[in-house]
Amino acid sequence: MLLDLLSDARREPAECLIKVDGEEITDLYPFLSEVTVEASRAEATVATLRFESRRDEEGEWAVQDAGVFRTWARISIEAAFGQSSEEIMRGYVREVNTDHPRDGNATVTVECQDESIALDRQHRRRVWGGDAPTDDAAIVGEIVASHALSPHPDNADGQTELVLNQDGTDIAFLRERSRANGYELVFATGEVYFGPWRVDAEPQATILVQAGTDTNCISFSTASDGHQPDAVLVETAEAEGDGVSAQTIEPDLPLMGPESADSSGSGLEAFTWRMSREGGSDPVALAAAARRRANELSM
C-alpha cells in the first residue's frame, strides 16, 4: 500500500508464528483457535494455545496424534507483521489437556511457561560464598549459565560480601535474591534480567484505538485504583539496644507523564502502609524489599 511506501507504518495483519523444537507448526495452524500470552514483572510468562481437533477418515486425531506437543518440548511464540517479527516468549510445554465432549467438538489446550520452569526441577542445597564472600552478580551468572542461559548485559550487581544458604530450586533462590534487592527477574529471548525495574526506555509510538485508518490497536483498557499507598514504612532494629528506627520508603521510578498520579494533593493525611518487620532481617534487605513494594504499589 502507499502508506507502506511513504512511512514506517505497516498495515499488514499480525500473524502468530509458533515453533516447537525449532519447527514451525504449519500443519496445525488451521486448527488453532486462540493464543494467549500473559507476561508480568512478578511472575513467569505463560502462554495458552487452544486447538479445535477432529478425526480423519483413518481415525487419527489431527492435533492429538500429530506427536508435536509433548511436555517439556521447547516452544517459541513470535508476533509477525509483514516481513518483521518479534519474539513474545520462549520456554517449554508444561501441560497438555484434551477434551472430547459428547457433541464431538474435541479441543486440545497446551499450557506453556518461559525458560524459568527449567530452573524449577531440582532442589539444591548449597552454601554460596562459603570459601570467600560473593555477590549477587556472580551467583546469578553461575546459575543461569548452568541452564544454558545468558545474563542480560544490563544486569545490576546486587548485594556484595554475601554468604548465603540455598535450600530450594534455582528459580526459588533467584526470586529470593531478587526480592532482597528490590529487583525484577525477567526471562526473555534466552537472557535473564536481574536488576532495577525498567520503566524509562524509549516509548513506542502512540497507541491509537478507534482512530479510523490510523488505528493500530483493536482494543485497550486502563484502570486506576486510588487505594494504593504513596509510600511504605519499614522498621529495623537499631545497632545498639532494643530501639527500633522507622524509615519511610517512597517509589524511585521515573514518572511516565508530566505529573505524579499519587494522592499527595488530595488534602488528606499521608497515605503510608507499614511493612511487617521480620526478626533478624538485614536492614539493607528490608529497605530493598520496602522499595520494591513501594514501586509495585505505584504502578
- Do 92 and 113 form a contact (C-beta atoms < 8 A)? yes
User: What does the DSSP 8-state code read for residue 61?
Assistant: B
When pLDDT is cut at 50, 70 and 90, the band that residue 12 belongs to is low
Measure the CA angle with vertex 51, ends 46 and 54; round to 5°. 155
pTM attached to this predicted model: 0.82
Stronger pLDDT, 219 or 57, i.e. the higher one: 219
**What is the signed CA dihedral for 151, 140, 237, 278, rounded to 10 degrees?**
100
Task: Report whether 28 contacts 51 (CB < 8 A).
Answer: yes
Residue 5 has a pLDDT of 47
Helix (H) or strand (E) holding 289: helix 283-298
pLDDT class of 136 with cuts at 50, 70, 90: very high
Q: How far is CA 98 from CA 92, 145, 213, 224, 265, in A?
A: 18, 36, 41, 38, 54
Question: CB atoms < 10 A from the CB of 292, how many?
Answer: 24
3-state secondary structure of 197: coil
- How confident is the prediction for the chain on average, in pLDDT? 86
Residue 119 · residue 174 · CB < 8 Å: yes
Cβ–Cβ under 8 Å, residues 156 and 195:
yes
pLDDT of residue 74: 97
Lowest mean pLDDT among 48-52, 127-131, 191-195, 272-276: 272-276
**Residue with more model confidence, 220 or 263:** 220
| pLDDT at 278 exceeding the cut of 60 | no
In whole angstroms, how far apart are CA 290 and each of 193, 198, 283? 20, 17, 10
Per-residue pLDDT band at 279 (split at 50, 70, 90):
very low
- In tens, the pLDDT along 46-60 reads 999 999 988 887 888
Checking if the pLDDT of 256 tops 50, the result is: yes
Q: The C-alpha cell of 79 is what?
A: 508476533
What pLDDT does 157 receive?
92
Beta strands in 101-243 (DSSP E): 106-114, 124-128, 150-151, 164-168, 184-188, 191-195, 231-237
